[in-house]
């Protein structure tokens, strides 16, 4: 396989997750635009759409707007939310970043600012003081906002595919104008009147094959909560049309094969010679074809339940980044089905989920121990034969691939970098994935003799 160094722009899901050290993000895979013949142009997509902006709609729909701006501290102690301000603070911060574009904290967990951006007059760090070259060095490119604002399409209309890798400089920022997590990401036109529609072109074009199968109430979330993240490799219109993330399918094994072929979503550990997966948040992929999905349950059903306002008006809770088990309305929704399965109250529903989460977490822990033992054995075997590596034995390649596959399953079970082991229990066939991971581990150990 080929291994590429990933030079990825700051990413869909994790821009803000830098608070947790060691975030690895932004490996990606390939999708297909050609098949659908979709035209990635905002002009064609927004025909007839209402011209309102998020600010106008915020005033018209204060309950929905307020929900979207909410944040919470998740079970890993990381603050998360879908608000414009949070994204702005990160996408526009002149900070030292890793090769993925994520800010790198110092040993105390503080963000490190870029010295050239210091403005002595105001005593603050100002991104406007940085030139394009520094921004590109920081990996702060416009592709970063392709899954943060529908206004990216204006950049695309101006610059074409080059928009993905052009610096996110003052003029690009002026076009986006702080309108991150805008209503148009999920609503076509006036949100009170109109239909839902995933509004970010990026995933629709590159994620074709999966994106076009989704119910709207999954599709709006899937446009960001997916494993597809290879924006910094998009340089030409041809790239946009020919990248095929889902060419082998979207299940856990098909995705592995595709990424292995493309050499993305893996990292080589130079010291040990082992290849590890760095896949993040394949949420929609792993949700597909689960029992819940087949029953018609969607992301929005569990994460955006109906709520009642103080004056008795029913509305959709837009705090989608909330935990369903910390939300009474969501838990009541679960009981529609789970009551028949013997759960009598929202409190018990939450306890049921927590219990399953700890079962899943225990499964992950055991797997990690077994994977570490396999890795150690493989390392020793590789060291023993390194003298004669003129003909690197086939078994070594085969064993390395098996090892990479175990780490792939592990990333699937953990998904995003700030997520608590087990928190995906309602959203994927975790037992199936654990079984596969354990048997690939066994196969690898057996191969080493």
Q: Which of residues 412-431 bind ligand HEC (CB under 6 A)?
A: 416, 418-420, 423, 425-427
Q: What is the DSSP string of 136-174?
A: HHTT-BGGGGGGT-TTHHHHHHHHGGGGGTSB--HHHHH
Stretch binding ligand HEC (CB under 6 A), from 95-103, 118-126, 154-162, 310-318:
310-318
Please list every residue from 330 through 369 that binds ligand HEC, using CB under 6 A.
330, 333-334, 336-338, 353, 356-357
Q: Is 144 in the site for ligand HEC (CB under 6 A)?
A: no
Q: Is 57 in the site for ligand HEC (CB under 6 A)?
A: yes
Among 51, 120, 121, 295, contact with ligand HEC (rule: CB under 6 A): 295
Contact pattern from residue 318 through residue 337 relative to ligand HEC, giving x for each residue in contact according to CB under 6 A and a dash for the rest: x-xx-xxx----x--xx-xx
> Binding to ligand HEC by residue 299, rule CB under 6 A?
yes
**Interaction between residue 183 and ligand HEC (CB under 6 A):** yes
Among 217, 348, 370, 377, binds ligand HEC (CB under 6 A): 217
Bridge partners, 167 (sequence order) = 141
Q: How many helices (H) and strands (E) does the chain have?
A: 18, 8
Angle between helices 252-262 and 394-414 (to 10 degrees): 130
Crossing angle between the packed helical segments 252-262 and 430-448, to the nearest 10 degrees: 50
Residues 277/407, Cβ–Cβ less than 8 Å: yes
Residue bearing tokens 């929905």: 64
Site for ligand HEC (CB under 6 A): which residue of 210, 278, 304, 440?
Answer: 304
Is 125 an interacting residue with respect to ligand HEC (CB under 6 A)? no
The 3-state DSSP class for residue 109 equals coil
Instruction: Give the one residue of 8, 13, 172, 413 binding ligand HEC; rule: CB under 6 A.
Output: 13
- Whether the Cβ atoms of residue 242 and residue 29 lie closer than 8 Å to each other: no
User: Structure tokens of 383?
Assistant: 């060291």
Of 29, 38, 54, 258, the residue at the interface with ligand HEC (CB under 6 A) is: 54
Residue 275 binds to ligand HEC (criterion: CB under 6 A): no
Stretch that binds ligand HEC, among 97-105, 180-188, 252-260, 387-395 (CB under 6 A): 180-188
- Scanning 232-240, 249-257, 286-294, 373-381 for contacts with ligand HEC by CB under 6 A, the matching segment is 286-294
- The yes or no reply on residue 8 touching ligand HEC (CB under 6 A) is no
Work out whether 192 is an interface residue with ligand HEC (CB under 6 A). Answer: yes
Does position 411 interact with ligand HEC (CB under 6 A)? The reply is: no
- 87-91: long-range contacts, CB 8 A cutoff, minimum separation 24: 87/15, 87/16, 87/148, 87/149, 87/180, 87/181, 88/178, 88/180, 89/16, 90/10, 90/15, 90/16, 90/18, 91/10, 91/15, 91/140, 91/144, 91/145, 91/148, 91/168, 91/180
Q: What does the alpha-carbon distance between residue 288 and residue 291 come to, in Å, rounded to a whole number?
A: 9
Among 75, 159, 329, 385, binds ligand HEC (CB under 6 A): 75
CA max distance for the chain: 77
Structure tokens, 264: 């993305």
Question: What is the nearest approach in angstroms of ligand HEC to the Cβ of residue 363?
Answer: 11
Q: Which residues inside 84-113 make contact with ligand HEC, applying CB under 6 A?
A: 86
Cβ 275 to ligand HEC shortest distance, Å = 26
Asked if 68 touches ligand HEC (CB under 6 A), the answer is yes
The CA distance from 250 to 256, in Å, is 9
Assess 146 for contact with ligand HEC (CB under 6 A): no
Give the whole-angstrom CA distance, residue 432 versus residue 437: 9
| Per CB under 6 A, 82 contacts ligand HEC | yes
State the minimum distance, in angstroms, from the CB of residue 370 to ligand HEC.
21
Tell me: does residue 255 bind ligand HEC (CB under 6 A): no
């Amino acid at each position: 396989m080929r291994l590429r160094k990933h030079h990825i722009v700051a990413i869909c899901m994790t821009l803000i997750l830098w608070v947790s050290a060691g975030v690895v993000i932004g490996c990606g895979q390939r999708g297909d635009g050609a098949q659908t013949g979709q035209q990635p142009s905002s002009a064609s997509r927004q025909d007839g759409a209402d011209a309102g902006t998020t600010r106008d709609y915020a005033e018209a729909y204060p309950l929905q707007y307020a929900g979207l701006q909410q944040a919470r501290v998740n079970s890993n102690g990381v603050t998360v939310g879908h608000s414009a301000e949070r994204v702005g603070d990160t996408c526009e911060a002149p900070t030292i970043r890793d090769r993925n574009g994520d800010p790198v904290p110092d040993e105390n967990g503080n963000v490190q600012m870029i010295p050239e951006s210091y403005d002595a007059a105001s005593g603050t760090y100002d991104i406007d003081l940085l030139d394009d070259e520094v921004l590109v060095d920081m990996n702060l490119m416009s592709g970063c906002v392709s899954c943060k604002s529908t206004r990216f399409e204006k950049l695309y209309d101006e610059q074409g595919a080059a928009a993905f890798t052009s610096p996110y400089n003052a003029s690009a920022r002026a076009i986006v104008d702080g309108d991150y997590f805008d209503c148009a990401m999920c609503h076509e036109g006036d949100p009170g009147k109109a239909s839902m529609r995933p509004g970010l072109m990026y995933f629709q074009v590159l994620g074709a094959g999966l994106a076009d199968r989704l119910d709207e109430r999954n599709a709006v979330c899937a446009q960001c909560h997916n494993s597809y993240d290879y924006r910094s490799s998009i340089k030409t219109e041809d790239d946009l049309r020919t990248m095929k993330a889902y060419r082998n399918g979207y299940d856990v094994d098909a995705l592995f094969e595709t990424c292995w072929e493309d050499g993305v979503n893996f990292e080589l550990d130079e010291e040990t010679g082992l290849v590890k997966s760095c896949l993040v948040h394949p949420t929609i992929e792993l949700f597909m074809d689960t029992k819940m999905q087949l029953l018609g349950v969607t992301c929005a059903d569990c994460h955006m339940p109906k709520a009642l306002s103080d004056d008795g008006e029913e509305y959709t809770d837009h705090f989608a980044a909330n935990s369903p088990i910390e939300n009474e309305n969501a838990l009541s929704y679960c009981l529609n089905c789970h009551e028949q399965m013997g759960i009598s109250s929202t409190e018990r529903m939450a306890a049921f989920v927590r219990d399953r989460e700890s079962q899943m977490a225990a499964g992950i822990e055991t797997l990690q121990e077994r994977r570490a033992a396999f890795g150690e054995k493989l390392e020793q075997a590789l060291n023993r034969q390194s003298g004669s590596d003129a003909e690197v034995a086939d078994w070594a390649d085969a064993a390395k691939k098996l090892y990479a596959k175990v780490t792939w399953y592990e990333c699937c079970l953990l998904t995003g970098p700030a997520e608590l082991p087990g928190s995906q229990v309602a959203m994927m066939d975790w037992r199936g994935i654990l079984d596969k991971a354990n048997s690939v581990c066994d196969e690898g150990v057996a191969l080493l003799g």
